[in-house]
Amino acid sequence: MSAPIRAINPPSDEIARAIHDMAETMLDTCIVHARLEDEDEVDEYGHPTAVWIDSDPLRCGFRTASRREVMGLAQVPIFDSVLRLPLQVAVTGLDQVTVTHRMGRPLPKPLRFSIERHDVGVYGQTCYLKRVGEGTQA
């Protein structure tokens, strides 16, 4: 005799509380740079140029977490860091992120990253980042 199948999902109030708690544990600050295309301006190949629209400062959870793959004799970085964002933040893999504060304290120099991979979960979003611009890690 088998037992009836029951839903194993937590109640919606528990999910809402977990989402709230996840956002409250994000102690860092970042700015999301949304990438838009400017149809009026084109590059040397005739493609629309990128225009970056900055968000207001957002709470986030930043940590360094390098992952590399071996290709022949070289090691190629896949991502340098991981960023957690609340669900309500709109972000895509085309956007960039600048981390401005760690644990409530301003960084000496903000760190800008491209988003290499973007995962949306039940309680929040995870972005896998790679440094861009000055100070890019090899």
Nearest CA among 131, 27, 34 for reference residue 84: 27
Number of folded domains that form the chain = 1
Distance CA 35, CA 53 (A): 7
Question: In the prediction, which pLDDT does 70 show?
Answer: 61
pLDDT score of 135 more than 90: no
Q: pTM for the complete prediction?
A: 0.74
Q: Which residue range is the domain that position 110 belongs to? A: 12-131
Q: What is the rounded average pLDDT of the residues 45-69?
A: 84
pLDDT 10s digits, 73-102:
666 667 788 999 998 899 999 999 999 999
| CATH number of the domain bearing residue 66 | 2.40.10.270
Q: Has residue 121 been placed in a domain?
A: yes
Average pLDDT over the chain reads 83
